[in-house]
Chains A and B, each alone.
Chain A
Amino acid sequence: MGRKVGIEVSIAISEAVKLANADVVAAYPITPQTHIVEHLAELVASGELDAEYIPVESEHSAMSACLGAAATGARAFTATAGQGLELMHEVLYVASSMQLPVVMVVANRALSAPINVWGDHSDMMAVRDTGWVQIVVENGQEAVDNVLCAFCIGEDKRVLLPVMVHIDGFHLTHVVEPIVLPDQADVDDFIPPNEYPLPLDPARPVTMGSFGPPVIYPEIKKRQDVVLRESKEVILENWQRFGEAFGRYYHPVEQYRAEGAKTLLMTMGSTSETAMDAVDRMRDQGMSVGLLKLRLWRPFPFEELLQAVRDADLLVVVDRAISFGGPAGPFCSEVKAALYNQDKKPKVMGFVAGLGGRDIPVGGFEAMVHRGMEIAEKGGGEILETYGVRE
């Protein structure tokens, strides 16, 4: 059933890629993702992972090489962060449109300028419309488990889409945690062989990536959207299968002491662990506060969200990214949009916090909940409410 080891999360992720037996790894160094690709290079150099390691000259080429590999039928992996993800941006759209199931770990990082290597969700939010499956995790174990699931989800014939697993830069990438690394035999049973249906193969010549004029472009885009939406069933199926095989279960919207709570904090990623402590404290003070942690960012889990908030009066959504000049943080905006047409819906208060690696302490979540309750009750509040920014 695996072995529990004290291991840096980045190293554990590389071990998961080894367990998944990737064929091609294309990588370019960028903090805070570097430990992942460094360790993968070591695993290839030592022969522990039989893969071609392509030390590309940019992230744009890292993603491109992965697409070439996936189109040939290989299992391809890369990792990046922040500016690297932005440099890949246009390639990301093509990956999903051409249905090439690459798996990528994104060590979420703030975007320049000023240059900042620490974690926030600016990079993840900037790529939310690129058509990838996006899974967000809050600790090392979840990262390992979801990298394994990502291969199953992406390569499933009903999906054939690229998958990002988002881990917060530094808060996850550089910490040592006790993590269960599954046994190879169990992983082999769990991940089916990658059988891309129409690979580049001289025996059966295909044309990939054709020119799509107006007469066909909308049909191709509609199909792509439907495939991504319907991938949720396959994601749920694989999380269930993973749970049965390894005993750890994942859900699109994770709940913590949320049952019956009148106020729900909503978070994504590593800060969720701090938010849980905040919820414990507030519960101890007799407040009716719970926590929702969004695990599945794309496809967005509309049904699960509605179900999770049905008893709440107030949602306090914490974004680690700004939508400059926009309605709120991107996470908050989407939650609001998802609820807008519901007859019975909670009020939604959004906060932006934790930019560029700034810590959000336990008290910070408490403060945001109190401020959210205050605005909800009395009205007012800023268009963009921030927490922890010096005035």
Chain B
Amino acid sequence: MSTSDEELTWREIEVGAIFTVPGTTADYQTGDWRSQAPSYNFDRCIKCGICQLYCPEGCVGQDEDGYFIADLYWCKGCGICARECPTGVITMVEETE
């Protein structure tokens, strides 16, 4: 059911228009809503994970070194992580075209 909704015909719709595949919005890019993006100075990072906890998108993951970093595919650039980071690792920078 993750076919584009513009292609679906009435015959392809599931019983009761029910979706059977969970969590398909993960394919949907909300990152292009962003006007500013988080930028990281990991020197100060204590890997507390506050940024991950408070992210409304749930888009903050950990890299292989254990640093927390937003996935820009979904990050809408709200700046909550930057505001809440206790050690000032994150600054929000304007996106450029």
B48 at the interface (CB under 8 A from A): no
- Complex-state Cα separation, A213 to B6, whole angstroms: 11
B66 at the interface (CB under 8 A from A): no
A-B contact count (CB 8 A): 50
**Is the Cβ of A210 less than 8 Å from the Cβ of B19?**
yes
- Complex-state Cα separation, A220 to B12, whole angstroms: 10
Determine chain B's interface SS by DSSP, over half rule. Answer: loop
**Is the Cβ of B20 less than 8 Å from the Cβ of A99?**
no
Return the chain A residue nearest B11 by Cβ.
Answer: A223
Q: Mark B53-66, 1 if CB is under 8 A from A, else 0.
A: 00000000000000
**Is the Cβ of B10 less than 8 Å from the Cβ of A223?**
yes
Contacts of A220 in B (CB 8 A): 10, 13, 17
B26 at the interface (CB under 8 A from A): no
- Closest Cβ of chain B to A92, distance in Å, is 15
CB within 8 Å for A198 and B16 given contacts A205-B22, A207-B22: yes
A204 at the interface (CB under 8 A from B): yes
A380 at the interface (CB under 8 A from B): no
**Is the Cβ of A198 less than 8 Å from the Cβ of B14?**
yes
CB within 8 Å for A197 and B15 given contacts A222-B10, A223-B10, A226-B10: yes
Within 8 A of B (CB), among A222-262: 222-223, 226
**Is the Cβ of B10 less than 8 Å from the Cβ of A208?**
no
B8 at the interface (CB under 8 A from A): yes
- Complex-state Cα separation, A210 to B17, whole angstroms: 8
**Is the Cβ of A98 less than 8 Å from the Cβ of B17?**
yes
B27 at the interface (CB under 8 A from A): no
Within 8 A of B (CB), among A178-222: 197-198, 204-208, 210, 212-213, 215-216, 218-220, 222
- Complex-state Cα separation, A72 to B9, whole angstroms: 27
**Is the Cβ of B15 less than 8 Å from the Cβ of A207?**
no
Within 8 A of A (CB), among B1-45: 5-6, 8-11, 13-20, 22
- Complex-state Cα separation, A197 to B14, whole angstroms: 10
Task: Name the residue in B13, B17, B22 with the highest tally of chain A Cβ atoms < 10 Å from its Cβ.
Answer: B17
Partner of B8, one of A98, A100, A219: A219
- Closest Cβ of chain B to A226, distance in Å, is 7
CB within 8 Å for A99 and B15 given contacts A198-B20, A207-B22: yes
A14 at the interface (CB under 8 A from B): no
Contacts of A100 in B (CB 8 A): 16
Contacts of A160 in B (CB 8 A): 15-16
Task: Name the residue in A160, A212, A219, A222 with the highest tally of chain B Cβ atoms < 10 Å from its Cβ.
Answer: A219
Within 8 A of B (CB), among A94-133: 97-100
Contacts of A205 in B (CB 8 A): 22
**Is the Cβ of B13 less than 8 Å from the Cβ of A219?**
yes
CB within 8 Å for A215 and B16 given contacts A223-B10, A223-B11: no
**Is the Cβ of A97 less than 8 Å from the Cβ of B16?**
yes
- Closest Cβ of chain A to B82, distance in Å, is 31
- Complex-state Cα separation, A100 to B18, whole angstroms: 11
Contacts of A98 in B (CB 8 A): 16-18
Contacts of A213 in B (CB 8 A): 5
CB within 8 Å for A208 and B16 given contacts A219-B8, A219-B9, A223-B10: yes
6 chain-A/chain-B pairs, Cβ below 8 angstroms: A207-B18, A208-B18, A210-B17, A213-B5, A219-B9, A223-B13
Q: A160-B15, A206-B22, A219-B9 are in contact. List 19 more A-B contacts (CB 8 A).
A: A97-B17, A98-B16, A98-B17, A98-B18, A99-B16, A100-B16, A160-B16, A198-B15, A206-B18, A206-B19, A207-B19, A207-B22, A216-B8, A216-B13, A220-B13, A220-B17, A223-B10, A223-B13, A223-B17
Which B residues are within 8 Å of any A CB, using their own CB?
A: 5-6, 8-11, 13-20, 22
Lowest 8 A-B CB distances belong to which pairs?
Answer: A99-B16, A219-B10, A207-B19, A222-B10, A223-B10, A98-B16, A205-B22, A198-B18
